[in-house]
Amino acid sequence: MTTTQADLKTARSDHTGALKRPEWLLELYARHGEGTASAEEVREGQQRAVKEVLDKPHGLSGADIEAILARAVLASDAGPGSGDGGDRPVSVETLRHAFSDFIPATSPLERELQILVAVQECTSREVLPERYRSMEREAVLSRINELRALLNS
């Protein structure tokens, strides 16, 4: 089966960004079940399917996409059969759920405000990212107030 541009569009996301399985991926899963496709081929196929969806992410930033994929990996690692210690591929269903569950921040300023409020509330410098460990509390509070003023204007 050859994949056309029209096929890729139908394999892309619906209005929530949820992943729809392309036909070629279903065929790959069937081949894997029959023992004629390797785990590596399945992994590469899943990566290709994700790339097809992410080619046009419809307003998602790179950080948003990274967060979605990280959640999908964590969910896959925590799912049934995860206690075997092996690397398991992320299922399309898990990706679909991660995409549909994601709510992007509305602006970079809001995201910065959320981070700085978390920094302000943190009780251990050790758990803070390096760039926030040496920030003075007054500088954090000043920037929080500045961001609040910008967001409320």
Same domain, 90 and 57: yes
Average pLDDT over residues 63-83: 78
Q: How many domains does the chain have?
A: 2
- In angstroms, the CA 105 to CA 58 distance is 14
Does 112 or 83 have the greater pLDDT score? Answer: 112
Per DSSP, 51 falls in state H
Same domain membership, residue 80 and residue 28: yes
pLDDT for the residue 54 = 60
**Over the stretch 19-60, which tens digit does the pLDDT of each residue have?**
455 677 778 888 888 889 898 988 888 778 777 666 655 667
Cα dihedral 78, 79, 81, 87 sign? negative
- Whether the model pTM is above 0.85: no
> The domain containing residue 84 runs over which residues?
5-101
For residue 63, pLDDT over 50 is answered with yes
Clarify whether residues 80 and 139 are in a common domain: no
Cβ atoms of 16 and 100 within 8 Å: the answer is yes
- Beta strand residue intervals within 55-127, DSSP E: none
Q: Are residues 87 and 49 in the same domain?
A: yes
Percentage of residues of the chain with pLDDT beyond 90: 19
Q: Which amino acid is at 4?
A: T
77 and 21 fall within a common domain: yes
The residue type of 69 is L
Q: Are residues 59 and 113 in the same domain?
A: no
